[in-house]
Amino acid sequence: MNRELLRSLPKVDELLQEETIKQQLGNSMRVIVLDSLREAIEVYRKAILNDEIQSLTKEEVMTHSIMLLNKKNLPKLRKVINATGTVVHTNLGRSLLSKDAIDRVINVAENYNNLEYDIEKGKRGSRYSHIEDLLIKITGAEAAMVVNNNAAAVMLALDTLCREKEAIVSRGQLVEIGGSFRVPDIMKFSGAKLVEVGTTNRTHLYDYQDNITENTGVLLKVHTSNFKIMGFTEEVSIEDLVKLGNENEVPVVEDIGSGVLVDYSKYGFVYEPTVQESIRKGIDVLTFSGDKMLGGPQAGIIVGKAKYVNRMKRNQLTRALRIDKMTLAALEGTLKHYLEETEAINNIPTLNMLLCPKDELKKRAQKLKRKLQNKTDKFTFTIDNDYSMVGGGSMPTEKIETYVIKIKSESFTAPQIEEKLRMNEVAIIARINNNEVIMDLRTLFEKDYGIITEAFRTM
């Protein structure tokens, strides 16, 4: 241990007198500058104690403190660039909002608004009224409301219709969603008693019929959007479930998951059930997410028969699950686009990315490759065919043809390139396959090409 080097460590008060640090005080809060100075000094103290350095200067400590300060000043929740090709990427914030939805959020965020005020009547109103008419028009349902996510929507529906009663559900539909949240656990918290029927791969109508009792609260159908069972399978159709429910005066609740409002099979995708179709087939209550295939903010949307939805609105649990003004504004802005399908495809980023023509992606790849090659010669950039994913637990078997840029280097390994991109000031999240770093053009925006090229230039 070098005691002389320890004694030469600058004090915080001493560093505060330096012009470089005074400039930082003018740009940042004093408490953050002080924390950065103390942490920088501590880093060098430990390095000296561990015999990792043999000399130091005051400038080195200040430089390190400024690096720490810049890091502290970055928002914890901040922009990243998604180069993975997974469109609805749960870890990266799922769906991006349309321009109109963003404008509506800004409007209500910076102004007082009529969140729970009926302007025409001059008295208190309902926050659900702002989007209920839109949801009714788009889905064909009798009534609608929104809570903070789809798990909450399922829980509220079961708590309202099935507390201390039995909910009959196919064993093959007891899914686990992200973060280890499981449908059986959500049902348990709602106060409903789970009654599993059928087998993992095959459930018949008589499985439901044989288990209906005077204590049956709902027949529950859960769309397995995050996995597929292939081969020797069978499940009961919505029509048959609805007929059985009507005969026994038991409501049928469907958790359709991703909230598909567009028939993607028209565009070459595998068929995915739509909300409108389930409503037409007579489902009593339907729940789905706002931030998956719908392309809006995080929300749990409930549509269905008015007599059931109105009961949910009166449930005291609703207050704990309600959404705020900004989510409502973003959801209204998103749903407005769905009044015309082409409007939705052109303006909602999630839909636009999913349905972007492959030829357009090739043009983007060529443009980005040219920019990259003009900035650096340390890397080899190759355009190739690959597949994008929908993500968010939606259409798990669907592979979307795309174009990617593959990156290799004699100076860096693939993991090193991936890490440097990830640790860029604006993190660039790519993926690795066969020792190549891959950037998928489907989830990249031209506005970010400059950030990407600069990241490679400075490696």
CA distance 6 to 51: 11
Same structural domain for residues 229 and 113? Answer: yes
What percent of the chain shows pLDDT beyond 70? Answer: 94
Same structural domain for residues 194 and 124? Answer: yes
- Of the candidates 95, 146, 454, 160, the one whose C-alpha atom is nearest the C-alpha of residue 312 is 160
Residues 6+ apart with CB under 8 A from 297: 95, 97, 101, 290, 291, 326, 327, 330, 331, 334
**Distance of alpha carbon 154 from the chain centroid:** 18
The residue from 328, 347, 366 where one domain ends is 347
Same structural domain for residues 324 and 247? Answer: yes
Residues 6+ apart with CB under 8 A from 401: 358, 385, 387, 388
Q: Which pLDDT does position 12 carry in this prediction?
A: 93
Residues 6+ apart with CB under 8 A from 173: 183, 220, 221, 222, 223, 224, 235
Same structural domain for residues 284 and 362? Answer: no
Same structural domain for residues 37 and 117? Answer: no
pLDDT: which is higher, 272 or 21: 21
**Mean pLDDT of all residues in 452-459:** 94
Continuous segment of H or E residues that includes residue 160: helix 150-162
- Of the candidates 52, 67, 55, the one whose C-alpha atom is nearest the C-alpha of residue 8 is 55
Give tens-digit pLDDT for 309-344: 999 999 999 999 999 999 999 999 999 999 999 999
- Which amino acid appears at position 284 of this protein? D
Position 252 confidence tier, pLDDT thresholds 50, 70, 90: very high
**Mean pLDDT of all residues in 372-389:** 93
pLDDT > 70? residue 360: yes
CA distance 459 to 454: 9
Contact 405, 453 (CB under 8 A): no
- Which amino acid appears at position 358 of this protein? K
Same structural domain for residues 203 and 339? Answer: yes
CA distance 436 to 413: 8
Same structural domain for residues 336 and 373? Answer: no
The residue from 347, 363, 382 where one domain ends is 347
What percent of the chain shows pLDDT beyond 90? Answer: 72
Q: Which pairing describes strands 166-170 and 176-177: parallel, antiparallel, or unpaired?
A: unpaired
CA distance 403 to 313: 47
**Mean pLDDT of all residues in 26-49:** 93
Position 186 confidence tier, pLDDT thresholds 50, 70, 90: confident
Taking phi over 0 as left and psi of -120 to 50 as alpha, with beta for the rest, 316 belongs to alpha
Q: Which pLDDT does position 392 carry in this prediction?
A: 76
Helix (H, G, I), strand (E, B) or coil at 363: helix
Give tens-digit pLDDT for 25-34: 999 999 999 9
Same structural domain for residues 328 and 268? Answer: yes
Same structural domain for residues 158 and 290? Answer: yes
The residue from 297, 325, 347 where one domain ends is 347
Same structural domain for residues 85 and 56? Answer: no
Residues 6+ apart with CB under 8 A from 183: 154, 169, 173, 174, 175, 176, 177, 222, 255
Mean pLDDT computed over every residue of the chain? 91
Give tens-digit pLDDT for 271-306: 888 999 999 999 999 999 999 999 999 999 999 999
**Distance of alpha carbon 104 from the chain centroid:** 20
CA distance 240 to 444: 44
Give tens-digit pLDDT for 109-168: 999 999 999 999 999 999 988 999 999 999 999 999 999 999 899 999 999 999 889 888
Same structural domain for residues 252 and 184? Answer: yes
Write down the H helix ranges in 140-266: 150-162, 183-190, 205-209, 238-248
Q: Which pLDDT does position 178 carry in this prediction?
A: 53
pLDDT: which is higher, 176 or 195: 195
CA distance 5 to 2: 5
- Which amino acid appears at position 308 of this protein? Y
pLDDT > 90? residue 259: no
Q: Which pLDDT does position 196 carry in this prediction?
A: 85
Q: Which pLDDT does position 176 carry in this prediction?
A: 61
Site of tokens 């990259």 = 372
Q: Which pairing describes strands 252-257 and 86-88: parallel, antiparallel, or unpaired?
A: unpaired
CA distance 27 to 422: 26
Same structural domain for residues 38 and 118? Answer: no
Q: What is the CA radius of gyration of the chain?
A: 27
pLDDT > 70? residue 224: no
Encoding tokens for residue 143?
């009534």
Where residue 148 sits, what CATH number does that domain have? 3.40.640.10
**Mean pLDDT of all residues in 400-407:** 96
Going by the DSSP 8-state scheme, the letter that residue 94 receives in this structure is S
Where residue 401 sits, what CATH number does that domain have? 3.90.1150.180
Helix (H, G, I), strand (E, B) or coil at 302: strand
Continuous segment of H or E residues that includes residue 88: strand 86-88
Query: Structural domain tally of the chain?
Result: 3
Encoding tokens for residue 392?
């968010």
**Full residue range of the structural domain in which residue 448 is found:** 80-90+354-457
